[in-house]
Structure 1
Amino acid sequence: MPFDLRFTKGQGTGNDFVLFSDPEGDVELTPEQIRAVCDRRFGVGADGVIRAVRSENLAAGSAALAEDAEALWFMDYWNADGTVSEMCGNGIRVYAEYLLDQGLAELPAGREIAIGTRAGVRRVSRSADGYQADLGLWRRAGGEPLVRAKNLPVARPGLGIDVGNPHVVVALADDAELAALDLGYLPVLDPAPEAGANVEFVVPAEPLVEDGVGRIRMRVHERGSGETLSCGTGAVASALAVRYWAGSSAPDDWRVQVPGGVLGVRMFQAGDGEHVALSGPAELVFDGVLALA
């Protein structure tokens, strides 16, 4: 039966999302509907869809509440192709802005809001440029597969990094190589990870470190969405990879230039190990109503 979906369009450094409120968990969009919503010619157009649902009303939210009783809201995130995703670094900042805008949550200065995701509970606070999300523990995972991409003359080794979702980071020689890539085509990984991965291509700035802050440029092909103007968790994975390659003298603070803007990445020690935080802007662009079949 057709129904009207009331939504808000939001973006973080050009990574854009369609968000809608469904506190009771009554609205279950199908993969076909999600693809229709995200279609840039026939729909609203977005890299993904985010449903705001109370954790208690979603099966995946039960694990979030068990981890942290303050995670009252769950970020139910779907890629543009209708597949579900564990986490989204830009999306969680935009989601926090949406919760506040809709009056669903409060975030006083100096406080954090706990948000449930399929990768675990993530805490978001305000920052000078918008919001900062503590993405928790990270790990090297996925080995070092060879990566082939259109207009990349020779396959390059990548570094697998997991920050709640899987990434493979590839270092390139210069800006010319980065600009030549055609990421409208899916990069090929060998061996191919069973669940796929986001693939980031990075170039160090010159100099790499300035005033104690590392600087890199990045483009990304996101699993389930294709090339996007930005990927928050991809920026984090890229900074972690370059720090690993640079050695023990590399800094823990990074600025990552993506086509849609600049993101901040910070590594820091917590009680359970090294965490990584992502900071950047979040903007709600417009509200609308979409008739869905």
Structure 2
Amino acid sequence: MSTTETAWGELAGLTLTKGHGTGNDFVFVTDPEASLELNPELVAAVCDRHFGIGADGFIRAAKSTAIQPGTDAPAEQWFMDYRNADGSVSEMCGNGVRAFVEYLTTEGLIELPEGARVQIGTRAGVKTVGRTENGYAIDMGPWSFIHGDAAREDGSDSMVAARGLQTQRPALSISMGNPHTVVMLGNEGKLDGLGLEVAPSVTPIPPNGTNVEFVVPEEIEDTMEETGTNSVGAIRIRVHERGVGETLSCGTGACAAAAATRFWGGEESPDEWLVHVPGGTLAVTFVLGPDELEHVVLAGPATMVGKVVLN
């Protein structure tokens, strides 16, 4: 539904901010007590690229205690209340967390000098975000197989059909707090030929739907040129996000794609990865977390680009 047919409701007259992380773009609003009524139709209208501001997602900055009453979250902790472009609520967004912290700092809601860290509430748990020289690094927490041990025998647990592929392809479903299904393709021609304006079909599909990542490995020579070492893996991906469509970048998708590729590669696979998305490059690193589980650290830039007041 277009904004010509939808009232802006409680957002009318408010200043919203537009920002992005490697081209994955978001609209932000500050609402500490979560008092605004954000129904799906309103969010979809704001995110509409023709009749609204246009974005892959909508993020409300609210206090964790307002979104999740009764929790033991510190009073000063901010919560990333994230919605997809269609208005549906999502558990987590890796690019969104980086952009969210950049929004909080540029709005003066927090102070975060280089080297400092802050904890952010999300529906996928509390995430620790550190400010780096070139952006932000996030401990995304542990990754896991959505379908449990079903993936361990042949490296796949589902099948994916997509426009541009003649046959279904085996895939691996990974949870990063939100669901992902990763497909390895043989060459960049197949990746470029995908028609991701149509949602891929996943069988069996995870209970809450899934994002779908298509992956091709990068040449070792390209990796060495960027890092000076071949101990860093590199992949190129395209992503179809549930509730959005194809996006220029997906932070949790980059993590899931690296996790699946690393699993397929076996014990010799590196712990550090460059993930090339249409909107830029993200860094993904696998580390041992304080819970003795394998955590994923996502690093990349974030930028605020402007403000708008809704009529």
**TM category, shorter:** over 0.9
**Does the CA contact (< 8 Å) of 2:146 and 2:206 recur in 1?**
no
Contact 1:71 1:114 in 2 (8 A): no
**Aligned partners of 1:109 and 1:288: how far apart in 2?**
28
Query: Which amino acid in structure 1 is aligned with residue 85 of structure 2?
Result: A
Does residue 275 (structure 1) correspond to residue 288 (structure 2)? The answer is no
Which residue in the other structure is 1:90 paired with? Answer: 95
Q: Which residue of 1 aligns with 2:4?
A: none
Is structure 2 residue 20 aligned with structure 1 residue 14?
A: no
CA RMSD in angstroms, aligned pairs only: 1.5
Deviation at 1:62, TM superposition (A): 4.6
Where 1:218 maps in the other structure, the secondary structure is strand
Give unpaired runs (5+ residues) of structure 1: none
Counterpart-to-counterpart distance in 1, 2:209 and 2:114: 38
Q: Which stretch shifts more, 107-116 or 154-163?
A: 107-116
- Identify the residue that residue 69 of structure 1 maps to in structure 2: 74
Q: Provide TM-score, normalisation by structure 1.
A: 0.94
Q: Deviation of residue 57 (structure 1)?
A: 1.4
Question: Which of 4, 9, 13 is residue 13 of structure 2 equivalent to?
Answer: 4
Are residue 195 (structure 1) and residue 204 (structure 2) matched? no
Unaligned runs of 5+ in 2: 1-8, 151-156
* In structure 2, distance between residues paired with 1:69 and 1:91: 21
1:131 aligned onto 2:136: yes
Deviation at 1:128, TM superposition (A): 3.1
Q: Does 1:264 align with 2:283?
A: yes
Alpha carbons of 1:55 and 1:219: their partners in 2 closer, same or farther (altered >3 Å)? same
Q: 5 Å matches for 1:37-186? A: 37-59=46-68, 62-63=70-71, 66=72, 69=74, 72-142=77-147, 143=150, 144-186=157-199
Quote how far apart the aligned CAs of 1:141 are. 1.3
Identical aligned pairs, as a percentage? 52
Report how far residue 154 of structure 1 moved. Answer: 1.1
Q: 2:247 aligned with 1:228, yes or no?
A: yes
Mapped pair 1:248 → 2:261: no
Supply the AA of the counterpart residue of 1:10. Answer: G
TM-score normalised by length of structure 2: 0.89
Q: Number of residues paired by the alignment?
A: 287
Query: Per-residue deviation at 1:70?
Result: 7.5
Partner secondary structure for residue 176 of structure 1: helix
Q: Which has the higher strand share?
A: 1
Q: Name the CA distance, whole Å, in 2 between partners of 1:106 and 1:28.
A: 28
Q: In structure 2, how many angstroms separate the alpha carbons of the residues matched to 1:254 and 1:41?
A: 36
Secondary structure of residue in 1 paired with 2:127: strand
Q: Deviations over 1:36-66 (max 9, x none)?
A: 000000000000000000111123x654xx3
- Comparing 255-264 with 266-275, greater Cα deviation is found at 266-275
2:91 aligns to what SS in structure 1? coil
Instruction: Check the 8 A contact 1:159/1:241 in 2, yes or no.
Output: yes
Distance, in Å, in 2 between the alignment partners of 1:4 and 1:263 is 36
